Amino acid sequence: MVHEKLRLFSGTSNPPLAQDICEHIGKPLGEIYMQRFSDGEIFLQVQETIRGLDAFFIQSTSKPCNSNLMELLIFIDAAKRASARNICAVIPYFGYARQDRKSAGRTPISAKLVADLISRAGATRILTLDLHATQIQGFFDIPVDNIFAIPLFAKDIEARNDMENTIIVSPDVGGVVRARALANRLHVDMAIVDKRRPAPNVAKVMNIIGEVKGKHCILIDDMVDTAGTLCGAVDALLEKGATKVSAYASHGVLSGPASERLANSGLHELVVTDSIKQPKKIMKTGKVRIITIAQLMGEAITRIYDARSISSLYG
């Protein structure tokens, strides 16, 4: 039997993605019984034997972040106590990744705390997509495979656009490496949105580094949350003469006022992966398109199981 010791399980954060991954691998989704007590406490039972097997638990720690994180930790503990041979936490979207350093005095490094929780719970490996800060891999005491969506984005952009009039744009200086990687893959130019706040509580001033006039600008980022920065960048690019502005982001967090901002913006479209399951109100904006990472994640899972190279997936 192919991959006979491989078992796949899903939490409640994104069952459709988990099912699509299973279909790609050709393995059924494992049975889990889960319930919540009236106070929100989670109970979980793996309803099949996993002794001596490799258990992969697919769970993004997206909204509700803390509840989904607890599901992940509880499954890892259950699998460890059930004598699983290996326990891989498949976390398409790793929440708390934005808190990767002390941004001010007396603040936590929550990404490190979450890494410790997952490691101490008993996970033996992590598989994730486009960490907000790649150095978070070093927060874990276990192997971490951080794969990238850029190859998927590049293929989609080439199939839908005239590359002669396309330019890749980083929404801030911190995203230059990501934008340059995509621009180099597509063999197009790159621009940067320079954001500055001249004084406390004063609106951001945006300057554009690069020539965008008459171009289709494609913003690239790892995540979009409230969409404030994205919509501000769209306005700045259009003011500088861009003919159209699209955006690609690995993770569509899209919380708070994001749906209203997207609906009212001059953005042509926002393309995100299905690392996070999107609510109906986001899709009703007509501005969001989803591309799947099921095949990418499924291939990474089988390579981990077979002890084959992961880096060649996005090389």
Q: For the range 65-73, what are the long-range contacts, defined as Cβ-Cβ under 8 Å and sequence gap of 24 or more? A: 65/95, 65/96, 67/40, 67/42, 68/11, 68/12, 68/13, 68/95, 69/95, 69/114, 69/117, 70/42, 71/11, 71/12, 71/13, 71/34, 71/42, 71/44, 72/11, 72/118, 73/117, 73/118, 73/121
Residue 222 assigned as binding residue: no
- Binding residue per annotation — 138? no
Q: Is 41 annotated as a binding residue?
A: yes
Q: How far is CA 55 from CA 4, 133, 151, in A?
A: 12, 26, 27
User: Cβ neighbours of residue 26 under 8 Å, at least 6 residues apart?
Assistant: 2, 3
Q: Say whether 123 counts as a known binding-site residue.
A: no
227 among the known binding-site residues? yes
179 marked ligand binding residue: no
Residue 128 annotated as binding site = no
Long-range contacts, stretch 202-211, CB < 8 angstroms, 24+ apart: 204/232, 206/232, 206/233, 206/235, 206/236, 207/236, 208/236, 208/237, 208/240, 210/167, 210/169, 211/167
Active-site residue, selected from the candidate residues 5, 195, 204, 244: 195
> Is 225 within any annotated ligand binding site?
yes
Nearest 5°: the CA angle 92, 98, 104 is 165
Q: Is 204 a catalytic residue?
A: no
134 annotated as a binding-site residue: no
* 23 CB burial (10 A radius; 0-12, 13-18, 19+): middle
On whether 216 is known to bind a ligand per the annotation, the reply is: no
99 is in an annotated binding site: yes
Strand partners, 279: none
273 is an annotated ligand-binding site residue:
no
Query: Binding site for D-ribose 5-phosphate: what residues are annotated?
Result: 197, 221, 225-229
Query: Binding site: what residues are annotated?
Result: 39-41, 98-99, 132, 172, 197, 221, 225-229
Query: Binding site for ATP: what residues are annotated?
Result: 39-41, 98-99
Residues tagged active-site: 195
